[in-house]
A and B are shown apart, each in its own frame.
Chain A
Amino acid sequence: MKHAAPTRTLLALYTAMVAFVLIAPTVVVIPLSFTDKASLTFPPSGWSTRWYENFFNDPAWTAAFGNSLTVALIVTVVATAAGTAAAVGVSKWSRKRMAKAAQMFLLAPIVVPSIILAIGVYAIFLRLQLLGTLPGFVLAHSVLAVPFVLVSVSAALAGFDDRLTTAAASLGADRWTTFRRVMLPLILPGVVSGALFAFVTSFDEVVLSIFIKSPYLETLPVKMYASVTRDTDPTIAAAATMIMLLTTVIIAVGLLSMRRKKIA
């Protein structure tokens, strides 16, 4: 559509402003992490790397970081396996209504406000003594991560021509072989992006984690939450900067590997 130049300029300016609102706030964290004072004043009056040193010298921070990584990696494996299996199951189940209902149910955890889920899970984990345990974190985060895998693998499966599996089966391949050799390579981009979602979902999770943590095990976002509410300590800015770096790298690697797969 054609627009008069002033309209277009106005629109562009407005868009730029919105884009600024979307991105700019996060960026202030980076310079703040190099401040020389123990205060959260911005802009910083001087520069240092002491908060990074503090991060790596403080066992509470490094342990939280390690826990987050461990939990997120296991969640990635568990949720990707369970979610991919479920997506394949849903798409192949002959009783379409049941399959649809199962899918809706599996997606439900991400639409229910997490505070409601959190108090429920908290009560149950207390009874089962799962609070502050690795299995507890993995189970809770997996419930939230499976839907993302399910959605992204389902999307990939929607473009999958099922005659291929029929053909493979008619040539004598068993189901596992068919899945591994025929289906998986074709839906791999969906599986990879699902795995990325699963990782980030777990790595970022706060609300449930606040409830299920214990002094023996807490994750990085929980530690950050405690830090924001209890201290005025720029170490959190250093932690935040490193998380941003890490997620950016993971996404970039994920996207690149997907692109390469597509080219090949």
Chain B
Amino acid sequence: MYKTTNSRVKPTLGLAAAALSVLLLAGCGGAGAAPAAVDLGSGPAVAGTVKKDALKGVNLTFVSYGGLYQDGQTAAAVTPFGKESGARILADGPTEYSKIKAQVESSNVTWDVVDTGSYWAAGQCGTELQPLDYTIIDKSKVPAGLAGKCSVPAMQYANVFVYNKDKYKDAPTSWKDFFDTKKYPGKRAIDGTENIEGGIIEGALLADGVPKDKLYPLDLKRAFKKLDTIKDSLVYWTTGAQAQQMLESKEVDMAVVWSGRAFGAVKNGAPFEPVWNASVVVMDTLTVPKNAKNPKASMALINYYLGKEQQEKLTEETSYSPVNVEAKPKLDAVGKKFLITDPAVASKTMVCNFDWWGKNYTNVAEQWVAWVAK
């Protein structure tokens, strides 16, 4: 397009060209180039270890949901891993599935290890996510059945029903009470994002009289009808930070929140009590997107993350429950109260049907968004 240039206007175009070349040069400093090969040493993998300085010069991006949780992950596993292996680790977040999809489709994957919801991971194995190499990752200490072809658990938590104990003399004890706005008036906070997970839908059906063993497949129509009855009393949180703030400021009297956020709020003095038999256990997973630049290094990080010490520290920092059966986190009374792997809690909670959710996730999410926005 510069060919027709009149010689007299040239200086302007020259300037533009100079500016452009500066830009292009500067652009090259962006993402570092991936090294050709990674030597992780010989012998079987042991969770929680990595060969010293094996990943010098490697850039890895660890992606999670931010806040207390990601801070805990960073302190417990990501930063120590970087120190030991020599890798430079960047943090990003929050996890957005569209970004993973877009990165994979464009073969420009900048996320290396991604913390995702377990349903999504189950549904995307082989399409957006790559199979994990269990010669690099040691899953022998992961609770049985939780590690999948493309994912290992990142931690377990619950969508826990909590209530303000100062407000209700007669403590609520079940999902029926959550849906009973006459006996228990007041605002209830629930997750309003499109990332719906096990919890409120199951709760609505249980409150409507569906027996626990006949829950799945979930009758969505019935669940939404039940939810309609309390829509006027519902408020929605969109991030964990917001959920915690709602409890701390006592903006709501009841809520279904992530157990880690409930712990955070209670620790900061919010007068809330969990109702464990109206709580659903779910988990996050660690995954590696397809075409990630350095899969071996990514999996080395995952292997490190699953170690006993790392899991103990993670739980101590976040109160989310460990995914290493040998982990014995040291917790105070509040922390123990929200540890869902603690037998006293685990005997009451309900574990959601990951298989059903994985298969039906898109459909449920679509209906959920429409229900919230209507």
> Which residues of A does B touch, CB under 8 Å?
60, 74, 77-78, 81-82, 85, 122-123, 126-127, 129, 131-136, 138, 174-176, 214-217, 226, 229-232
Contact = CB atoms under 8 A, between A and B. Distances in A.
Interface in B97-123: 102-103, 105-106, 108, 110-111
A77 B18 CA distance: 11
A230 B9 contact: no
B68 to A, nearest CB: 9
Interface in B19-78: 19, 22-24, 26-27, 29-31, 61, 63, 65-67
Given A129-B106, A176-B9, A232-B245, A215 B26 contact: no
Contact of B110 (A60, A131, A174, A175): A131
A226 B26 CA distance: 26
Given A215-B92, A217-B30, A231 B67 contact: yes
Contacts of B110: 131-132, 214-216
Nearest to B26: A134
A215 B61 contact: yes
Nearest to B71: A231
B12 interface: yes
Contacts of A229: 238-239, 241-242
8 contacts: A74-B19, A74-B26, A82-B16, A126-B103, A133-B27, A134-B23, A176-B10, A215-B111
A227 to B, nearest CB: 9
Contact of A230 (B15, B90, B93, B106): B93
B211 to A, nearest CB: 39
Given A214-B31, A215-B92, 19 more contacts: A77-B19, A81-B15, A122-B102, A132-B31, A133-B30, A134-B26, A134-B27, A135-B27, A176-B8, A176-B9, A215-B90, A216-B110, A226-B94, A229-B238, A229-B239, A230-B67, A231-B241, A232-B241, A232-B244
B239 A230 contact: yes
A82 B8 CA distance: 17
B241 A216 contact: no
B364 interface: no
Contacts of B92: 214-215
A127 B106 contact: yes
Contacts of A127: 106
Nearest to B264: A232
B11 interface: yes
A174 B106 CA distance: 48
A229 B110 CA distance: 22
A198 to B, nearest CB: 13
A230 B66 contact: yes
Contacts of A174: 8
B220 interface: no
A231 B66 contact: yes
A214 B241 CA distance: 22
B94 to A, nearest CB: 7
Interface string B85-97: 0000011111000
A81 B12 contact: yes
A110 to B, nearest CB: 22
Given A134-B23, A216-B90, A217-B30, A126 B8 contact: no
Contacts of A77: 19
Contacts of A135: 23-24, 26-27
State the 9 A-B residue pairs at the shortest beta-carbon distance, nearest first: A215-B92, A230-B66, A135-B27, A126-B106, A175-B8, A215-B90, A135-B23, A133-B30, A215-B61
B241 A81 contact: no
